[in-house]
Amino acid sequence: MSAPHPQSPSLDQPRPRRARPKAPAAAPASPELKAKALEIHKRLCAVYDCPIPYFHSLDPVSELVSSLLSHRTKNADSGRAFKALHARFPDWEDMLEAPVAEIEAAIHGVRWPELKAPRIQEILREVKVRRGELSLDFLGEMPVEEARLWLQEISGVGPKTSAAVLSFSVLRMPALPVDSHHHRVAQRLGLIGPSIDVGPSHPILRAQLPADWSAQKLYDNHEILMLHGQKVCFHRRPACARCTLNDICPSAFEA
Ligand code: SF4
């Protein structure tokens, strides 16, 4: 077995629990915004053919690694990096005490590998310290918001990553991730204000959708808004003329 990392805390004992932060409060959505969000969902589902198949069937720890790699990185590049990292460390436990340079080399195709390599290692160490094992399966027994907050107590895990772990992994929990495409489209459509950043947009956009929606429907909502951002509502020169939402979009032909 490799020697303990000189700067890491003991991985054997669960760390005493910190006070859990409260869920970010989102103002209740107005009936108009709720109706608009549903109309957008209905139209985009017709275009992108809901239900959308899940693109991953990873355990939640693997999904956490995958999600951390994907930050500001193209899906193809982060997918390649994930495969290379998992090939190097088939058991994530072996990564906990590995030289950071080895992790960085495996993920060199992502953006900021020199930052992501130590961060991923530290985050997985934190999971092990807090749980006594490197597993996040227990999150499936918790209410969604509580599970998200548990993850977000870890430095470096934000709202998008926590939602992705719960939604995209085999846990298949009803959480709504918001990526940069999703965020841009929602902003242009007027679902969120121009000064709302990606992180704070999570509870606002979730509150506009029915509370009892299934994991699949929330996943569909994220995917169709993301796909719309990738295929029609481009960052530069959105294709408003062929957008199914151009009659209800305040930014149509102006973005
Ligand atoms: S009308 Fe244009 S700006 Fe509005 S959502 Fe469609 S593509 Fe985006």
At residue 37, the pLDDT reads 98
> CA nearest 44: which of 182, 250, 170?
182
Across residues 18-37, what is the average pLDDT?
Answer: 75
Across residues 76-88, what is the average pLDDT?
Answer: 95
Q: Measure 201 CA to ligand 1 centroid, in angstroms.
A: 19
pLDDT beyond 80 at 50: yes
Q: Check if 233 has its Cβ closer than 6 Å to any atom of ligand 1.
A: yes
Ligand 1: which atom is nearest the Cα of residue 253? 2
**Complete domains list, the chain, with CATH:** 31-53+176-242 (1.10.1670.10), 60-168 (1.10.340.30)
Give this prediction's pTM. 0.87
Top-confidence residue, 23 or 39: 39
Q: Check if 36 has its Cβ closer than 6 Å to any atom of ligand 1.
A: no
25 phi and psi angles, rounded to 5 deg:
-80, 130
Cβ contact 40:245 at 8 Å: yes
Ligand 1: which atom is nearest the Cα of residue 239? 7
Across residues 1-27, what is the average pLDDT?
Answer: 45
Q: Measure 39 CA to ligand 1 centroid, in angstroms.
A: 14
Render pLDDT for 194-215 as a digit per residue (tens, 0 to 9).
999 999 999 999 999 999 999 9
In the chain, the percentage of residues whose pLDDT exceeds 90 is: 85
Q: List, as own/partner pairs, every contact residues 90-93 make where C-beta atoms lie below 8 angstroms and the sequence separation is at least 24, other chains included.
A: 92/61, 92/62, 92/65, 92/124, 92/134, 93/128, 93/134
| CA dist., res. 106 & res. 127, Å (int) | 22
Query: Residues in the chain, how many?
Result: 255
Helix (H, G, I), strand (E, B) or coil at 217: helix
At residue 28, the pLDDT reads 82
